[in-house]
Amino acid sequence: MSVEEAREFFRGHGLQPYRGEQVLGWIHRHGVHDYVEMNNLPSDLRAELGNIAPLRRASVADVRRSADGTVKLLLEYSDGNTAETVIMDHDYGVSVCVSSQVGCAMGCAFCASGVGGLVRNLTPGEMLEQVLEAAREVRAAGRERVTSIVLMGSGEPMHNYDNVVKFMSLVNWNKGLGIGYRHITISTCGIVPGIRRLAAEGISVTLSVSLHAPDDETRSALMPVNKAYPVDELVKACRDFADVTGRRVTYEYALIRGVNDSSEHAHRLIALIRGSLCHVNLIPINPVQEAGLARPEANVIQSFVDLLTAAGVSATVRRELGTDIDAACGQLRRRFLKNERGRFS
Ligand code: SF4
């Protein structure tokens, strides 16, 4: 619930509306799982709330901690579905990678999330729970707070647009987590109508687009979405997004050995995006067993980034985090599904 919805809910049940805001504060700031913990609420109100609005919180089904400080949580929701959240520790703060759907319908060749297809959308509350559990973990590790959010976990956020926009407003609430829109990144596989809708939303979030190839032939082989929204149309929407919002668009480019890592691919990419407000994030892929894809050698990765940089295109190679804990999206959930519930190979 938003603050307004919580106030309305309380009013509708004959309770003082400000108590609704108080309850949300307990959930957002302290991640409480039970009304009993809300010790500035009268005990009879806590008991009543337990009856009229039971707190159905997700449970953490598994935690994986990487040697580099990355932590991956697997949340299990009340219907038994699971979704992954990754906490990444950077010099500049702590970011949380949130899943927007259980599974994914988009079927990208390099991604474990899409292997089993889409199960269902996550609600704003279920996405919030990922951040709340991550924040609890962050506090337990002695870090102050979650500073940024990336919607880059399982799922295509633009296919769950309304829920994602509401989720962002929840984490943005200034009496809760208070995460500024500028510190929230939405990642899309290239749903052009969603990009255009987001540009018109009037919120200054960061857009990240999974491009992964500079031509339709290569991209369509990797990402079926390209048949609906080809490269030129996608990049045009991204250029327009940057013009309308003044925000730099990030292009994600997963480097895959022998598929999209040649100098010819680099030159095509340069021709495609040069001159627009953008940055290229090169990601040597985490191998996906099911798809038989591998990462290029280190010198190939370096040549690719050097070509882009020399042409005046801003580009970096993403620091690898959590490769020892299946941190790439969908990997942990798939391992969970393959084995008996709660047991991992
Ligand atoms: S990369 Fe993203 S859009 Fe593509 S299948 Fe995976 S989760 Fe879905």
pLDDT tens sequence across 153-184: 999 999 999 999 999 999 999 999 999 999 99
Cα 55 from Cα 302, distance rounded (Å)? 50
pLDDT tens digits, 186-210: 999 999 999 999 999 989 999 999 9
Cα 201 from Cα 146, distance rounded (Å)? 24
pLDDT band at 325 (very low <50, low <70, confident <90, very high): low
Mean pLDDT of the 251-256 span? 93
Q: Is the pLDDT of residue 342 over 50?
A: no
329 ligand 1 Cβ < 6 A: yes
pLDDT tens digits, 37-72: 999 999 999 999 999 999 878 999 999 998 888 999
Q: Is the pLDDT of residue 102 over 80?
A: yes
Q: How far is the CA of 106 from the centre of ligand 1 (A)?
A: 6
pLDDT at 57: 82
Cα 129 from Cα 151, distance rounded (Å)? 14
Taking residue 129's Cβ as centre, other Cβ atoms within 10 Å add up to 24
- Nearest atom, ligand 1, residue 107 CA: 5
Nearest to 285 by CA among 277, 274, 296: 296
104 ligand 1 Cβ < 6 A: yes
Mean pLDDT of the 95-103 span? 95
Q: Which domains does the chain have, with CATH numbers?
A: 1-55 (1.10.150.530), 57-338 (3.20.20.70)
Q: How far is the CA of 52 from the centre of ligand 1 (A)?
A: 38
Taking residue 202's Cβ as centre, other Cβ atoms within 10 Å add up to 9
pLDDT at 318: 82
> What are the beta bridge partners of residue 74?
62, 84
- Nearest atom, ligand 1, residue 104 CA: 8
Q: What is the mean pLDDT of the chain?
A: 90
- Nearest atom, ligand 1, residue 210 CA: 1
Active site residues: 84, 329
- Nearest atom, ligand 1, residue 110 CA: 1
288 ligand 1 Cβ < 6 A: no
User: Cβ distance 98 to 150 under 8 Å?
Assistant: yes
Q: Is the pLDDT of residue 337 over 60?
A: no
113 ligand 1 Cβ < 6 A: yes
Atom 6 of ligand 1 has which residue's CA nearest to it?
Answer: 111
User: Cβ distance 315 to 278 under 8 Å?
Assistant: no
Cα 121 from Cα 156, distance rounded (Å)? 9
pLDDT at 108: 87
Longest Cα separation, the chain: 70
Which of 111-115, 288-292, 335-339 is least confident?
335-339
Q: Is the pLDDT of residue 326 over 90?
A: no
Place of tokens 């003044």: 246
273 ligand 1 Cβ < 6 A: no
